[in-house]
């Protein structure tokens, strides 16, 4: 059984897509009502008499439920509960902690359809993009559960004098981790960021986006079902402007995914307390299509990488630099494939692109396209909102002739809009790709893999895909992922994604005392002996 606002027939290449609209059914919210039952009771509250904020489905503005509007006093309750639970959790053997997340991996896959329904109805995504998000959570849980022992175990480190001095590196949990997660990836950015923090022995206080709280709460419910101890993961719901500051003032680490503007404010507050922080912020991500690129593959990657999640990804491509030798063929094929994208709200895999999240995001997207057109840019595909499908749908849009001074030239649109630029050389493509204050994600399309990897390494972004979409770096769990420049600091995934939630400690042991001056030698003789030893150590490769 599926609920649908509308579907779109596949047009012929070069033909404008026309949508076949079906009436909006009242059963859309009903699909998730059984899933959200009792979720708001999980919110940490100092006083149960709180106002409640209604949550609406972007597909048709139908109210699907309500959550408490927390206040500063609720943050204190959440942090206190989490801190009390954290000590016992950190004292548990690591193998007991990781078992919870191996069970969670299986539970997420077992409840896949329910999670996809939740992400679609609450967030407006197509089912295929909701699937990407859900699988990431399972992969994340499995990776850290499998590798935490090797990453967290104490390690011997090199000391000055072999056999005389010994050193070990330890990693201890920071305590209580605060996570402020966004609406565009409400499941993975809430839960996948919490998983390594919890495995490392921390407690977590999660503040999900007020537009999509149920996806995060459902993920937390499944964590407790997998065996996570009570009170270890607290949730507070409400406005970030109300809850952000008191959360930062009380936790030992703050993680945030969202805009650069808000990220700067969070960084300033965290800096005053000298607590660790991780910030994944905005992007204006480039894609470089070189002359020898596989045309069919390049067009597929461009379409998937630009319009996934209706373009509401921090890592989606908004700028494309296409070398002149392939430009005309690429543009023709890309326009045709873009016009063939199917928009709709079916809770199945029959559509390609879902809805924007709400009115403000639609307004910004329309503003950027209208501004570009008014200043001379050309719309080759899309360019229109589609209220006939749903209130916040916008066609995937390709622009050419975008120049400095147009809003979408440097600003992040965060919608299904991409600008195409012709370049004459690889060097020009790299230079223009790097001409941005952002540096989050990029892609390079080129048949010559050695050349492509070299070009990718020169693009100043935290992740760069070669001949693939954002899925390649996103799924490379052993490698770090994050932004350069104004796109943030800190990394998720890999070693850094776990150890950032720890305090590293150096424990060193000496078998002689004092170390300097050496026993039985004068200061002068000790100095000469140490200088001679350093000269010797340099010549022994294993001791350098």
Q: Assign domain 34-56+64-281 one CATH number from 3.40.605.10, 3.40.50.720, 3.40.50.300, 3.30.420.10.
A: 3.40.605.10
pLDDT band at 18 (very low <50, low <70, confident <90, very high): very low
Cβ–Cβ under 8 Å, residues 321 and 432? yes
Q: How many residues does the chain have?
A: 544
Q: Quick check: 342 pLDDT over 60? A: yes
- pLDDT recorded at residue 26: 52
pLDDT band at 544 (very low <50, low <70, confident <90, very high): low
Q: Quick check: 170 pLDDT over 90? A: yes
Q: Quick check: 333 pLDDT over 60? A: yes
Q: Quick check: 511 pLDDT over 70? A: yes
Homologous superfamily assigned to 285-483: Aldehyde Dehydrogenase; Chain A, domain 2 (3.40.309.10)
pLDDT digits (tens, 9 = 90+) for 354-368: 999 999 999 999 999
pLDDT digits (tens, 9 = 90+) for 184-227: 999 999 999 999 999 999 999 999 999 999 999 999 999 999 99
> 201: helix, coil or strand?
coil
pLDDT band at 20 (very low <50, low <70, confident <90, very high): very low
Q: What percent of the chain has pLDDT over 70?
A: 95
- pLDDT recorded at residue 10: 34
pLDDT digits (tens, 9 = 90+) for 112-129: 999 999 999 999 999 999
> 18: helix, coil or strand?
coil
Q: Which residue has the higher pLDDT, 158 or 51?
A: 51
Domain ranges, ordered by start, for the chain: 34-56+64-281, 285-483, 513-543
User: Any bridge partners for residue 445, and if so which?
Assistant: 289
pLDDT band at 83 (very low <50, low <70, confident <90, very high): very high
Which pair of tokens denotes residue 311? 């373009």
SS3 labels along 141-195: HHHHHHHHHHHHCCEEECCCCCCCEEEEEEEEECCEEEEECCCCCCCHHHHHHHH
Vertex 34: Cα angle to 32 and 37 (nearest 5)? 105
What are the catalytic residues?
Answer: 280, 314
pLDDT band at 9 (very low <50, low <70, confident <90, very high): very low
pLDDT digits (tens, 9 = 90+) for 490-505: 999 999 999 999 999 9
pLDDT digits (tens, 9 = 90+) for 244-292: 999 999 999 999 999 999 999 999 999 999 999 999 999 999 999 999 9
- pLDDT recorded at residue 19: 39
């Amino acid at each position: 059984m599926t609920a649908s606002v509308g579907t779109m027939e596949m047009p012929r290449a070069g033909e404008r897509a026309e949508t076949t609209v079906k009436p909006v059914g009242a059963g859309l919210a009903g699909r998730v009502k059984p899933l959200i039952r009792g979720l708001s009771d999980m919110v940490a509250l100092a006083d149960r008499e709180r106002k409640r904020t209604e949550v609406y489905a972007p597909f048709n503005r139908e109210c699907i439920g309500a959550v408490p509007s927390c206040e500063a006093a609720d943050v204190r309750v959440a942090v206190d509960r989490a801190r009390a639970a954290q000590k016992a959790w950190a004292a548990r053997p690591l193998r007991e902690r990781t078992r919870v997340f191996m069970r969670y991996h299986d539970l997420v896959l077992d409840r896949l359809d329910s999670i996809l329904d939740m992400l679609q109805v609450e967030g407006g995504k197509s089912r295929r993009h909701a699937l990407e998000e859900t699988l990431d959570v399972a992969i994340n849980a499995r990776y850290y559960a499998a590798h935490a022992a090797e990453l967290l175990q104490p390690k011997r480190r090199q000391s000055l004098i072999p056999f005389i001095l010994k050193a070990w590196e330890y990693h201890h949990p920071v305590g209580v981790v605060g996570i402020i997660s966004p609406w565009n990836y409400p499941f993975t950015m809430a839960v996948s960021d919490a998983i390594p923090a919890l495995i490392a022995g921390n407690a977590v206080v999660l503040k999900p986006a007020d537009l999509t709280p149920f996806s995060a709460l459902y993920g937390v419910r499944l964590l407790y079902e997998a065996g996570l101890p009570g009170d270890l993961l607290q949730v507070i719901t409400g406005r970030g402007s109300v809850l952000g500051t008191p959360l930062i003032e009380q936790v030992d680490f703050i993680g945030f995914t969202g805009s650069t503007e808000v990220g700067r404010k969070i960084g300033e507050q965290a800096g005053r307390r000298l607590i660790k922080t991780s910030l994944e912020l905005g992007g204006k991500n480039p894609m470089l299509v070189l002359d020898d690129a596989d045309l069919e593959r390049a067009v597929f990657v461009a379409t998937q990488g630009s319009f996934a999640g209706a373009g509401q990804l921090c890592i989606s491509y908004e700028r494309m630099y296409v070398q002149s030798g392939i430009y005309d063929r690429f543009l023709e094929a890309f326009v045709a494939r873009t016009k063939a994208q199917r928009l709709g709200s079916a809770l199945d895999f029959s559509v390609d692109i879902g809805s924007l999240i709400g009115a403000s995001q639609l307004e910004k997207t329309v503003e950027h396209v209208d501004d570009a057109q008014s200043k001379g840019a050309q719309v080759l595909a899309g360019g229109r909102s589609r209220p006939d499908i749903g209130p916040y749908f916008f066609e995937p849009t390709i622009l050419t002739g975008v120049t400095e001074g147009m809003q979408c030239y440097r600003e992040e649109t965060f919608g299904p809009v991409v600008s195409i630029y012709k370049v004459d050389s690889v060097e020009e493509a790299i230079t223009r790709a790097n001409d941005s204050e952002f540096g989050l994600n990029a892609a390079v399309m080129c048949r010559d893999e050695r050349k492509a990897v070299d070009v990718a390494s020169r693009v100043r972004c935290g992740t760069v895909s070669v001949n693939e979409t954002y899925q390649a770096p996103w799924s490379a769990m052993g490698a770090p992922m994050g932004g350069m420049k104004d796109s943030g600091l800190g990394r998720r995934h890999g070693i850094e994604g776990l150890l950032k939630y720890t305090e590293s400690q150096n424990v060193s042991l000496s078998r002689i005392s004092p170390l300097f001056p050496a026993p039985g030698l004068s200061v002068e003789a000790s100095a000469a002996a140490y200088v001679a030893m350093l000269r010797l150590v340099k010549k022994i490769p294993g001791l350098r």
